[in-house]
Amino acid sequence: MLEKPEQSEKLFVDWVEYAARNPGLHKILNLPGAELTPFWYYSGDVIVVTFIFSMTSIFIFWRFLNFMRCRISIRSKSKSE
């Protein structure tokens, strides 16, 4: 870069001119991600699995808290009687 400071600018101009001469170039150099559906592009499968796991964990935790609350209330009732 220090030896040839104008090389990068010339290289950029050459590639832009090449792309302008070949209008169908974008079809050849297209990225595979451009053809993905939004579900797969945003990793929908991972989001769905994470959501289901989170909801299941919350449900189990909620049931555990209710179970513990009932056991504590039963013990406190039996002690008071």
Q: Does residue 74 form part of some domain?
A: yes
Q: Does residue 26 form part of some domain?
A: no
User: Could you tell me the residue range of the domain that residue 52 belongs to?
Assistant: 38-81
Both ends of the chain: CA-CA distance in Å?
Answer: 89
- Amino acid, single-letter form, for residue 4: K
Q: Does residue 30 form part of some domain?
A: no
Q: Does residue 2 form part of some domain?
A: no
Q: Does residue 43 form part of some domain?
A: yes
Which pLDDT tens digit goes with each residue over 2-12? 666 668 888 88
Indicate the average pLDDT of the chain: 85
Q: Does residue 79 form part of some domain?
A: yes
Count structural domains, the chain.
1
Q: Does residue 3 form part of some domain?
A: no
| Report field, pTM of the whole predicted structure over 0.75 | no
Q: Does residue 7 form part of some domain?
A: no
**Helical residues (DSSP H) of 1-81, grouped into ranges:** 7-21, 25-28, 38-41, 44-80
pLDDT surpassing 80 at residue 50: yes
